[in-house]
Amino acid sequence: HKQYRFAEIEPQWQKTWQQRNAFRATVDAQRPKFYCLEMLPYPSGRVHMGHVRNYAIGDAIARYKAMQGYNVLHPMGWDAFGLPAENAAIAHNMDPGQWTWSNIDYMKQQLKRLGFSYDWERELATCSEEYYAFEQQLFIELYTKGLVYRKKAQVNWCTQCQTVLANEQVEEGRCWRDGSEVVAKDLEQWFFRITEYADELLADLEKLQGGWPERVIAMQRHWIGKSTGAEITFAIPEASTTVTVFTTRPDTLCGATFMSLAPEHPLAQQLCAGKETQETVKQFIEKVRKQDSITRTSDKEKEGVFTGAYAINPLNGQSIPIWLGNFVLMEYGTGAVMAVPGHDQRDYEFARKYNLPIKEVISSEAGIEQEAWTGPGTLINSGEFDGLDNEMAKDAITEKLARQGTGRKTENFRLRDWGISRQRYWGNPIPMIHCSHCGVVPVPREQLPVKLPKGVKLQGSEESPLATVPEFVNTTCPTCGREAKRETDTMDTFVESSWYFHRYACQEDKTQPINRQAMDYWMDVDQYIGGVEHAVMHLLYARFFHKALRDLGYVGTDEPFSRLLTQGMVLLGGKKMSKSVGNIVDPDEMVERYGADTVRLFTLFASPPEKDLEWNESGVEGAFRFLGRLWRLVHEQPERYAHPDQTEPCNLSESARLLQQKLHQTIKRVSSSMEGNYHFNTAIAATMELVNEMNTFEDTTPAAQALYRQCLEALLKLLNPFVPHICEELWRDIGQTSLLAREPWPSYDEALAKADTITMVIQVNGKVRGKIDVPADIEKNEMERLSLDHERIQPYLQEMQVAKVIVVPGKLVNIVVKP
Ligand code: ANZ
Ligand code: ZN
């Protein structure tokens, strides 16, 4: 009989699907839509097992939803700008574009061999001129709306290469290329005003509850980091000025024994001017300028220096010294902190180190001899507020300060505006022009896109590589016509991945970046699938971008992704598969040896999508053997299902009735595993059980044949989302002419799926103590659990030890107890 030759059938079906436009998605107002999206890959060279897993999960969902009757949108594309292309280009002395496009070609073929149900017509590469041109247009619209601005910010500057380095290019404070010193340098850079949406980004996490993993929601909440507290203003009489701090603990105000300013604070230099502290302060500021914010806020020892000036506590009039501290960041709060060593551990250590006073203002049993007390308590040493509970004191003190005009209640976010300037070549040019007369001017719409020039020198330039191309840089001002210069920074690649899913859904519109009608039909993404490493940045930026697009009128909803699934990692030998560890299994090689269906089946069967998956070849072989069994069900004895006259299973024998029950139970189990959690592993396990039952089924009467055929048809439909090639082939082999991919998902009959019940006997030490009705196919441990929990049995177990539980499947449980 016909053999299972995956190497022949897989490419054939891939071709057929393409020829018959099986996965082409078009707007159809009559049908409900389902937008299934997987995070688009970076075209690094080859598809890896993590991709395969991600896309096998997405494909199973997309195909399942299509069979359920949804109009499914399932696109794929390439996140194609970015540093690796630039590095590879430097290493191989080639053009980043050439490297990227050839990788895309190669990886696309790899994905095609896996038979994913993508609508390839909607494919996009973010480095294509069409895509980045539209992105430039959106950038300018955001600029016009006030959501884009420029300010000075720090970059990593290699003192040897005289160039800006990305964070990934800095290794332990040194340049990745030549190990020379890296310092922080201030450059004018472009920012997206994501903080404008901080409140909404936080509040709308509520809407994602249930659809997103709790962990991801928590990570976003933490990243946005809202704190409630107060701003308190201290006078500095000697300098006739004031300084304002942000604190979450106004209740501890009387415990402030000194103040810490960020070294970048505008007052820092002014306060020491003309004093003997001036020189040490200057040196300290220089030193801290070279430290990155990670070092500054890490657990390493805090450093500081006294400015020589004093500030007045607005509550008790006390004069406290003003210090600078490397751990105080200018970007957070006001860049100034009232230090309360008695109740803040960081201040405590700082005070111990520099011999500053420590004052207790919140009473506690532990006291503050050993460390700061950060818990709750009653106020002491705080004048009129003594005796107040500290939570109440927060409001009471803030109110008093507000009346005095020295404080107010406020909120603070950890979230910073999104710096999108990159001093790199392989990215989207920021479409702005600098005119010495008019300032910053956006490139007019009709002059877009600002094309990325080719053949640019990638290394050794002062700032951005684009700055070395005079034909690029020199232009005329669109406003006054004078000579002007183009912006030479490119955009962070996270900008591209913030709206690619909008673009997929309106690829046919070549006149504008986003088509509102297409959005109103296809958005939101119903299911997004990708790695948890994108839990914060990508997902937060994309949420921000969606809201900004909403405010530009491009989309009508608040959130882009209704449901999110973060798949686990693919491991080998307990470690994440990676080039650096050297434990890679190449997908191509596996497809070559076992076929795409086997590879897909293994990745879906070996563990539920959200858990890590341990690659093991014997598991792959097991999956392959299962497909062989499936194949033989159809091809070994066609006479078992091919009776010419009978098509309806009726008047079934007892064994046939049981198989029928199994069939309906299987459809039920698979369907419910597909809903909700997408636990494909249990769905697949259920189909395996059905295959076993079919294998041992011996009835060959006409009625049994009709039933057997029903089983086969349902089985192929149930397995189609996971192993579509073999299922299509077998579907045709049993005489069907339709495309299985377009067949409806099978339904089951609840009455037929209902398990028979049996009466189970429960004994204690051999004596019958109870009877219960249970499903006939009950599992052994379930029998045991029911018996031990049974209320009639409980009294016999009291003060006794269960020595042994004997289970006779489907009949009885005997609990052996002893005192
Ligand atoms: C006095 C105080 C007393 C504080 C106390 C804490 C405990 P979160 O919760 O992260 O918002 N802080 C304020 N601005 C800072 C900056 N720019 N750099 C470093 N630290 C800064 O933290 C707010 C607390 O962090 C503030 O409350 C302030 O210290 C410090 F028993 O003020 B607190
Ligand atoms: Zn001008």
For the chain, give percent helix, strand, coil, nearest 5: 40, 20, 40
Given a cut of 90, whether residue 643 has pLDDT beyond it is no
Given a cut of 70, whether residue 460 has pLDDT beyond it is no
- List, in sequence order, every beta strand (DSSP E) within 461-549: 474-476, 483-486, 490-491, 527-531
Residue 647 pLDDT grade (very low, low, confident, very high; cuts 50, 70, 90):
confident
| Higher-confidence position of 773 and 720 | 720
Ligand 1 mutation target, pool 246, 363, 379, 412, most atoms within 8 A of CB: 246
Task: Give the tokens for residue 59.
Answer: 């494909």
Q: What residues pair up with 305 in beta bridges, in sequence order?
A: 324
How much is the pLDDT for 712?
97
Given a cut of 70, whether residue 411 has pLDDT beyond it is yes
Measure the CA–CA gap between 282 and 406, rounded to whole angstroms. 30
For residues 99-127, average pLDDT? 98
Q: What angle (nearest 5°) sits at the alpha carbon of residue 356, between those of residues 351 and 359? A: 85
CA of 405 to the centre of ligand 1 (A): 21
Given a cut of 90, whether residue 299 has pLDDT beyond it is no
Ligand nearest to the CA of 439: 2
Residue 754 pLDDT grade (very low, low, confident, very high; cuts 50, 70, 90):
confident
Residue 644 pLDDT grade (very low, low, confident, very high; cuts 50, 70, 90):
confident
Ligand 1 atom nearest 335 alpha carbon: 17
How much is the pLDDT for 461?
67
CA of 284 to the centre of ligand 2 (A): 41
Measure the CA–CA gap between 147 and 141, rounded to whole angstroms. 9
Q: Which residue's CA is minimally distant from atom 11 of ligand 1?
A: 227
CA of 270 to the centre of ligand 1 (A): 23
Task: Give the tokens for residue 298.
Answer: 């890490």
Given a cut of 80, whether residue 462 has pLDDT beyond it is no
Q: Is 525 exposed, middle or buried (0-12, 13-18, 19+ CB in 10 A)?
A: buried
Q: What distances in angstroms separate CA 590 from CA 98, 584, 617, one per listed residue?
A: 28, 12, 9
Within 13 A of 496's CA, how many CA atoms are on the CB side?
29
- Is residue 400 part of an annotated ligand binding site? no
Q: Are 83 and 424 in contact (CB under 8 A)?
A: yes
Residue 227 pLDDT grade (very low, low, confident, very high; cuts 50, 70, 90):
very high
How much is the pLDDT for 575?
94
For residues 705-734, average pLDDT? 97
How much is the pLDDT for 810?
81
Ligand nearest to the CA of 410: 1
Given a cut of 70, whether residue 799 has pLDDT beyond it is yes
Given a cut of 90, whether residue 179 has pLDDT beyond it is no
Lowest mean pLDDT among 8-17, 79-88, 108-117: 79-88
How much is the pLDDT for 181?
84
CA of 125 to the centre of ligand 2 (A): 34
Residues recorded for the chain: 819
The 10s digit of each residue's pLDDT in 47-73 is: 999 999 999 999 999 999 999 999 999
How much is the pLDDT for 401?
98
The 10s digit of each residue's pLDDT in 380-406 is: 999 999 999 999 999 999 999 999 999
Q: What distances in angstroms separate CA 183 from CA 175, 458, 598, one per listed residue?
A: 10, 21, 52
Ligand 1 mutation target, pool 247, 411, 416, most atoms within 8 A of CB: 247
For residues 335-347, average pLDDT? 97
Q: Which residue's CA is minimally distant from atom 28 of ligand 1?
A: 247
* H or E element in which residue 84 lies: helix 83-92
Residue 648 pLDDT grade (very low, low, confident, very high; cuts 50, 70, 90):
confident
How much is the pLDDT for 770?
92
For residues 629-649, average pLDDT? 87
CA of 183 to the centre of ligand 1 (A): 27
Given a cut of 80, whether residue 172 has pLDDT beyond it is no
Residue 678 pLDDT grade (very low, low, confident, very high; cuts 50, 70, 90):
very high
How much is the pLDDT for 230?
98
Given a cut of 80, whether residue 698 has pLDDT beyond it is yes
For residues 648-666, average pLDDT? 93
In sequence order, which residues have a C-beta less than 8 Å from that of residue 126 and are 6 or more positions away?
A: 77, 78, 79, 80, 81, 132, 135, 493, 496, 497, 500
Measure the CA–CA gap between 610 and 620, rounded to whole angstroms. 20
Q: Are 125 and 77 in contact (CB under 8 A)?
A: yes
CA of 248 to the centre of ligand 1 (A): 6
Distance of CA 1 to the CA centre of its chain: 48
Given a cut of 90, whether residue 158 has pLDDT beyond it is no
Ligand nearest to the CA of 328: 1
Ligand 1 atom nearest 412 alpha carbon: 11
The 10s digit of each residue's pLDDT in 260-282 is: 999 999 999 999 999 999 999 99
Give me the residues near ligand 2 (ion), CB cutoff below 5 Å.
435, 437-438, 477, 479-480
Q: Which residues line ligand 1 (CB under 6 A)?
A: 227, 246-249, 252, 262, 327-329, 332-333, 335, 337-338, 340, 343-344, 412
Ligand 1 mutation target, pool 226, 296, 332, 415, most atoms within 8 A of CB: 332
Pick from 326, 270, 273: which is nearest to 301 by CA? 326
Given a cut of 90, whether residue 5 has pLDDT beyond it is yes
Given a cut of 70, whether residue 168 has pLDDT beyond it is no
CA of 229 to the centre of ligand 1 (A): 9
CA of 246 to the centre of ligand 1 (A): 7
Count of C-beta atoms within a 10 Å radius of residue 797: 15
Ligand nearest to the CA of 374: 1
Mean pLDDT across the chain: 94
Ligand nearest to the CA of 394: 1
Q: Which residue's CA is minimally distant from atom 2 of ligand 1?
A: 249
Ligand 1 atom nearest 330 alpha carbon: 17
Given a cut of 80, whether residue 166 has pLDDT beyond it is no
Given a cut of 90, whether residue 160 has pLDDT beyond it is no
Count of C-beta atoms within a 10 Å radius of residue 367: 11
Burial profile 88-116: b = 16 or more Cβ within 10 angstroms, e = fewer: bbeeeeebbbebbbebbeebbebbbbbbb
Given a cut of 90, whether residue 35 has pLDDT beyond it is yes
How much is the pLDDT for 265?
96
Given a cut of 90, whether residue 649 has pLDDT beyond it is no
In sequence order, which residues have a C-beta less than 8 Å from that of residue 231 and are 6 or more positions away?
A: 244, 245, 246, 247, 333, 334, 407, 408, 410
Ligand 1 atom nearest 328 alpha carbon: 18
Within 13 A of 782's CA, how many CA atoms are on the CB side?
12
Task: Give the tokens for residue 551.
Answer: 């405010």
Ligand 1 mutation target, pool 248, 326, 358, most atoms within 8 A of CB: 248
